[in-house]
Amino acid sequence: MQNQRSVIAVHGGAGAIRRGSMTEEEEINYRAVIAGALNAGHRILIHGGSSLDAVCAAVQVFEDDSLFNAGKGSVFTNDGKIELDAAVMDGKTGKAGAVAGVSTIKNPIIAARAVMDKTSHVLLSGTGAEQFAASHQIDMVNPEYFHTQQRFDQLQQAKKHAEIQLDHDGSLSGMPSKEFESSQTDNKFGTVGAVAVDCFGNLAAATSTGGLTNKLYGRIGDSPIVGAGTYADNATAAVSGTGIGEYFMRGLIAYDVAARMKYLGLSLSDAVDQVIDSALNQRGGEGGLIALDANGNVKFGFNTAGMYRGYMKDDGVPVVLIYSEEENR
């Protein structure tokens, strides 16, 4: 039986995004990409397509645009490389697929979906994930495809901020200080993601990222980790996170939203608010998430100055928000 409501929501990262931090033209461009991602997913939903197809289509729009930190617009690691992560999860079956630390897959979200659909595994990494993608005719590119001057400049700036902390640590093995972590958020437009419910009431979530600017080589964040940065369960919610991934992994933030709904009987909104407070505010973390339940209720939660975000319901009108003071309409 079909559900009367299908909804999609997306995010393009959270951080120090304040009014005046970008030009009017830049803001227009960011809003246009968010609207484009919403439209891509919505087109699938209104024709009876699955929430899985919708979230992957929406994330692919972000991956193909250099404005956001996923795919084409991904940030550099400390040693000047690109390492991409992505995951997708089906709320109906509980199946999930993910790739991590890849550098030659044009659209990591497509590879993540293939891992879910074509293997018995959940997560493939590095060269193995790339070999798998190539064997399934997924578009591959030279790593130079991902290199943009803006991201390279951000790496140089991040290294300047990190110099004192790295010298204090004596090596690159230590976690960044709070000061350095804040500079990461300021200097990146983070992880992208999408959540959707289709006309059958099935939820799905997808997330894709280039990680943190100046991250240590081989570092994997929360995005491809089921329950940390990506989670979906028809009985509770679909969730996609963005921010400093270490906090999301330590708190299993995406799953925590669903668990609070399942075990405490909380509403989607209350569960998100509690998780942002307990897992981020009280622990000094920064970031946000988008969440959606099977009834089509959307909740955005974040503790930063802004988060690129938006949603679209059956009316086909994209609602695009950036700053913290913008209220959901």
Which residues participate in catalysis according to the annotation?
Answer: 191
Reported as type and span, the H/E element at residue 193 is strand 192-197
How many Å separate Cα 311 from the centre of its chain? 15
Nearest alpha-carbon partner for 312 in 36, 67, 115, 93: 36
The encoded tokens of residue 108 equal 């990591």
How deeply is 165 buried, as exposed, middle or buried, from its count of CB atoms within 10 A (0-12, 13-18, 19+)? middle
Nearest alpha-carbon partner for 71 in 171, 166, 138, 160: 138
Give me the sign of the Cα torsion angle 95, 40, 133, 14: negative
Distance of alpha carbon 111 from alpha carbon 103, whole angstroms: 12
Could you tell me whether strands 192-197 and 7-15 are parallel, antiparallel, or unpaired per DSSP bridges?
Answer: antiparallel
DSSP states of 218-285: T---STTSBTTTEEE-TTS-EEEEEE-HHHHHHHTHHHHHHHHHHHH---HHHHHHHHIIIIIGGGT-
Q: At what angle do helices 126-135 and 108-118 cross, to 10 degrees?
A: 80
